Amino acid sequence: MALTATIFKANLQISDMDRHYYVDHHLTLARHPSETDERMMVRLLAFALHADERLSFTKGLCVDDEPDLWQKSLSNEIELWVDVGLPDEKRLRKACSRAMQVCLYLYGGRNAELWWNKNSVNLQRFRNLTVVEIPEASSQQLAKLVQRSMQLQCTLQDGEIWLSCDDQALTVTPLVRKSHG
């Protein structure tokens, strides 16, 4: 018998001071049986960083040729492709050829660092690729916020992210490994 996804609800209040974006999003996240709480919360953080009315979660781990999140234009072109994890270079090359902008969120501490050291030289040729690492301590703290129904407040300013849920709060300072352009 196949395992099914676990459904999580998140009410995410975003105050993005840098983009002047102040919106509440009512999200449904499906966590694949093989996905960890940490990965799911990094996906949610990526949503907060790129929040837009057209940004949506995809089938993710269930489908090889879709990202974790994407934003499509009204003419169905992929404006933004967002992946989470440590993909192979071939996947990123394909993403960069299909989307106007690609953002990759690394996490996992030492594994993320090893992945970056192995792939960084080859990734420099992709002008539309941004690579951001979420520090291990931060991604592990994010995982501790997981509840089936979450009320989250997220404030973004000057590269810092403040996230709170109930009586828990954390600050995330992502490490930009590569900027597009």
pLDDT digit string (tens) for 64-88?
678 999 999 999 999 999 999 999 9
Asked whether the beta carbons of 50 and 42 are under 8 A apart, the reply is: no
User: Domain segments of the chain: what residues?
Assistant: 6-178
User: Which token pair is 140?
Assistant: 């592990």
**What pLDDT, on the 0 to 100 scale, is given for residue 123?**
96
pLDDT band at 62; cut points 50, 70, 90:
low
Strands (E), the chain: 6-16, 21-31, 55-57, 69-72, 78-84, 99-106, 129-133, 149-157, 160-165, 168-172, 175-178
**What pLDDT, on the 0 to 100 scale, is given for residue 1?**
47
**What pLDDT, on the 0 to 100 scale, is given for residue 181?**
62
User: Which token pair is 163?
Assistant: 């996230």
Task: For residues 97-112, give the mean pLDDT.
Answer: 96
In CATH, which of 3.40.50.920, 3.10.640.10, 3.40.50.360, 3.30.450.90 is domain 6-178?
3.10.640.10
Tell me the whole-structure pTM to 2 decimals.
0.94
Say which DSSP state 51 is in. Answer: -
**What pLDDT, on the 0 to 100 scale, is given for residue 59?**
75
Task: For residues 145-163, give the mean pLDDT.
Answer: 96
User: Which token pair is 64?
Assistant: 């090889």
Per the DSSP assignment, residues forming a β-bridge with 156 are 16, 161
CA 70, CA 174: separation in Å to the nearest integer?
A: 20
CA 79, CA 56: separation in Å to the nearest integer?
A: 12
**First-to-last CA distance in the chain?**
47
Per the prediction, the chain carries an average pLDDT of 93
Task: For residues 84-104, give the mean pLDDT.
Answer: 96
Q: What is the side-by-side strand order in the sheet with 129-133?
A: 55-57, 69-72, 78-84, 99-106, 129-133, 175-178
